[in-house]
Amino acid sequence: MSMLGFNLLNGATFAALLFVVGSGFTLIFGLMRIVNLAHGALYLLGGYVAFSVAMKTGSFALGIACAAGAVAIAGLLIDVVLLRFVRGNDLRQVLLTVGVALVLNDAMLVIWGGDTFTVPVPQWLQGPVQFLGMTYPVYRLFVLGVGVAIFLGLWLLLNKTRLGALIRAGVDDAEMVEAMGVNIRRVFIYTLMLGTALAGIGGALGGAFLSLYPTADAEILVFSLAVVIIGGRGSLAGAAVGALLVAMLATFGQVWFPELAYFVIFGPMAVLLAFRPLGLFGRAT
């Protein structure tokens, strides 16, 4: 029983991380129609930045903040310097971000090398905690808390603010929003920076319990893709449900079929796609 509870908690905390990363991915995809395949690389960049800053300053919070800032700027640069040339052309945009992912990944290999790093966390987040008759790492509970907080924050942003209303309108019909006199480009930029910053925060959070290594970007990208494919483009609820589903499958898959864990997230995805090619919350445009 306590084993099941332990695994459920593992699944939930992993889901929180996947939600943080996946919600950024789905926001950008939903609004800007950009499938940012460099999202995994940006996650890893965030992790490395957080690691370096936390090692230098000893502050985990500062590490997270710097990761979010640095990655948001990286996202902005990708958009302003590169994506501007292929605007309005979905496929060229995606393929261009593939190139960005390769370049970023290799550049990080140059800077941080091939070793495995773990972002250092402060004292109060270390060690286990006792509750409900289980011993569980405090840090993972912290990630769960952050995931829930980010979900609430994004929900409030999207549903209660003017920017959120513009983003939601833009997901449905960007041209119409522009025709109403809104500078949709600015909304795009904000969303892009928000989405990539989420990848950076995810990297900082994940870097402390999944550790950072050169292929971590590809692994997190597969999970983010699965989250968005299951949840549907541009949907916050979809990202949450998708993250929960993927994380639980991955966690229990790891326990039951350690070598084929990857395969386990594939089965339900296949069944889902057979019925809803656009994902649970996806809508045709």
Partner 1 sequence: MNKLHKVSKHHIWTAIVLAALALLPFAISGYQTSLATQMLIFAALAMSIDILAGYAGRTPLGHGAIFGVATYVLLYYVTTAGGSLWGGIALGILAAVGTAVVFGALAIRTSGVYFLLLTLALGMIVWGVSLRWTSVTGGENGIRGTVKPEWLASHVNLYYFTLAITSLMALAMWRFVNSPFGLTLKGIRESETRMKALGYNVPLHVFIGFVVSGFFAGMAGILYAFYNSFVSPSTVELRQSVAGLLMAIVGGIGTLFGSLIGSIVIITLENLVSLYTERWSMVLGLMFIFTMIFAPEGLVGKARQLMARRQARLSGAATLSAAATQGAATSPSTAGRDKGGGH
Per CB under 8 A, residues contacting partner 1 are: 33, 35, 37, 82, 85-86, 89-92, 94-96, 98-107, 109-110, 215, 218-219, 221-222, 225-226, 228-229, 258-263, 265-266, 269-270, 273-274, 277-278, 284-285
Place of tokens 């997190």: 220
Please list the residues that pair with 135 across neighbouring strands: 130
**Closest CB to partner 1 among 124 and 257?**
257
CB of 33 to partner 1, least distance (A): 7
CB of 213 to partner 1, least distance (A): 12
d(CA 236, CA 24): 9
Question: Which DSSP symbol is given to 83?
Answer: G
**Closest CB to partner 1 among 166 and 225?**
225
**Closest CB to partner 1 among 54 and 79?**
79
CB of 146 to partner 1, least distance (A): 26
DSSP alpha helix (H) spans, the chain: 2-32, 39-57, 60-77, 90-112, 138-160, 162-179, 184-209, 216-231, 236-256, 261-275
Q: Rg of the chain over CA atoms, in angstroms? A: 18
CB of 99 to partner 1, least distance (A): 3
CB of 107 to partner 1, least distance (A): 7
| CA-CA-CA-CA dihedral for 187, 31, 43, 219, to nearest 10 | 180
CB 117 within 8 A of CB 58: no
CB of 263 to partner 1, least distance (A): 6
**Closest CB to partner 1 among 107 and 165?**
107
d(CA 24, CA 47): 15
Structure tokens at 77: 């640069």
**Closest CB to partner 1 among 199 and 228?**
228
CB of 181 to partner 1, least distance (A): 27
**Closest CB to partner 1 among 84 and 160?**
84
Please list the residues that pair with 134 across neighbouring strands: 131
Half-sphere exposure (Cβ direction) of 133: Cα atoms closer than 13 Å = 5
Residues constituting the chain: 285
CB of 262 to partner 1, least distance (A): 3
Half-sphere exposure (Cβ direction) of 254: Cα atoms closer than 13 Å = 10
Distances (CA, A) of 127 to 5, 36, 219: 18, 36, 26
CB 82 within 8 A of CB 100: yes
**Closest CB to partner 1 among 139 and 254?**
254
**Closest CB to partner 1 among 83 and 197?**
83
